[in-house]
Amino acid sequence: MTGRPPAPLHAVGPIDLDIRPGEFFAVVGPSGCGKSTLLELIAGLTPATEGRIEFEGAPVAGEAPDGIGVVFQEDASLAWLDVAGNVAFGLRRSALTAEERQRRVRDALKLVGLSDFATSYPAQLSGGMRQRVCIARTLVMQPRLILLDEPFGALDQQTRLLMGDELLRLWRETAATVFLITHALDEATMLADRIGVMSARPGRIIDVVETGWPRERDSRIVERAEFGNITARLWHTLRAESMKSIRS
């Protein structure tokens, strides 16, 4: 895809990016560089002023395409529905039978480990669990591309690492393509096959780092020597950009 969103101030771009099917792609960058804008462009939430975005061969513009799921940083769980209701909410527009729907909801809850909480309300759950409800709601639609905008930003560090393990497992089990935005370098390094580094605003991709990790991985990858090297490389590139961002 290539693109620039509409804004008197250029928020992002120019960007030229190809995401391979089935890969886990992470984007890191200084705050305000336009990472979220990039995600919203891909999701069809924001139209691009220049350039083209394509998903599965068809252009993306104005409307969220079928087959894309998004998990946001803020809590998007619906307080007035129980967990099962929340997850089922994603299937409202689909032409499935009631049985099919129930089955998918059950499967999604099992995938994220919330089967025991189907009748609980979000208010009774922790932040991490609520985020899992949102993930389940996304998974229930069986998307081919999953976009995550700093999904673990509101959680504490330990929970983040464990959720990272969860996310990797879900990625393998659903065989979806995953596009994750994060400001945490270690998180990107641990989770991704490739990491795009964005510059300060207007954000461009100034580096793409291949981690070369095996598909079967979890948080223990942090113990490997290459982990430190990759993170160091990311920071090396980002440090100057971050200082620009702070000054502006």
Partner 1 sequence: MSKVAWYRAAVIAGVVALLEALCLAGVIDKITMPAPHVIARDLWRMLVSGRMNAAIAKTLGNTVLALGLALGVGIIAAALLHRARAVRDTLDPLFATYYAVPVFAFYPFFIVVFGLGDLPQILIAFMLGVVAVIVNTLNGLDRVPNVLLKTARILRLSPADTALRMTLPYAGPYVLTGVKLAVAYAFIGVIGSEFIMSRGGIGYEISFAYANFDNATMYPLIVLILLASVAVNGLLGVWEQRLLARRGLR
Residue number, 68 or 184, with CB nearest to partner 1: 68
Distance CA 28, CA 57 (A): 26
| Residue 63 interacts with partner 1 (CB under 8 A): yes or no | yes
Q: Among 19, 106, 121, 194, which residue interacts with partner 1 (rule: CB under 8 A)?
A: 121
C-alpha torsion sign, points 217, 219, 224, 226: positive
Options 73-81, 163-171, 182-190, 236-244: segment touching partner 1 (CB under 8 A): 73-81
DSSP sequence for 111-132:
HHT-GGGTT--GGGS-HHHHHH
| Residue 92 interacts with partner 1 (CB under 8 A): yes or no | yes
| Residue 122 interacts with partner 1 (CB under 8 A): yes or no | yes
Q: Among 23, 32, 47, 78, which residue interacts with partner 1 (rule: CB under 8 A)?
A: 78
| Residue 33 interacts with partner 1 (CB under 8 A): yes or no | no
Q: Among 28, 43, 170, 238, which residue interacts with partner 1 (rule: CB under 8 A)?
A: 43
| Residue 247 interacts with partner 1 (CB under 8 A): yes or no | no
Distance CA 22, CA 183 (A): 22
Options 59-67, 102-110, 204-212, 223-231: segment touching partner 1 (CB under 8 A): 59-67
Options 15-23, 67-75, 153-161, 201-209: segment touching partner 1 (CB under 8 A): 67-75
**DSSP annotation of 11:** -
Options 23-31, 75-83, 196-204, 237-245: segment touching partner 1 (CB under 8 A): 75-83
Options 38-46, 151-159, 229-237, 240-248: segment touching partner 1 (CB under 8 A): 38-46
Q: Which amino acid is at 181?
A: I
Instruction: Region of 81 please: left (phi>0), alpha (psi -120 to 50) or beta.
Output: beta
| Residue 89 interacts with partner 1 (CB under 8 A): yes or no | yes
Q: Among 16, 54, 56, 74, which residue interacts with partner 1 (rule: CB under 8 A)?
A: 74
Q: Minimal distance in Å, beta carbon 148 to partner 1?
A: 12
Residue number, 67 or 218, with CB nearest to partner 1: 67
Distance CA 131, CA 173 (A): 19
| Residue 56 interacts with partner 1 (CB under 8 A): yes or no | no
Residues 6+ apart with CB under 8 A from 50: 2, 3, 4, 13, 14
Residue 170, classed as helix, strand or coil, is helix
CA Rg value for the chain = 18
Residues 6+ apart with CB under 8 A from 68: 42, 43, 44, 55, 143, 144, 145, 146, 147
The residues of the shown chain that bind partner 1, judged by CB under 8 A, are: 40, 43, 45, 63-64, 66, 68-70, 72-76, 78-80, 89-90, 92-93, 121-124
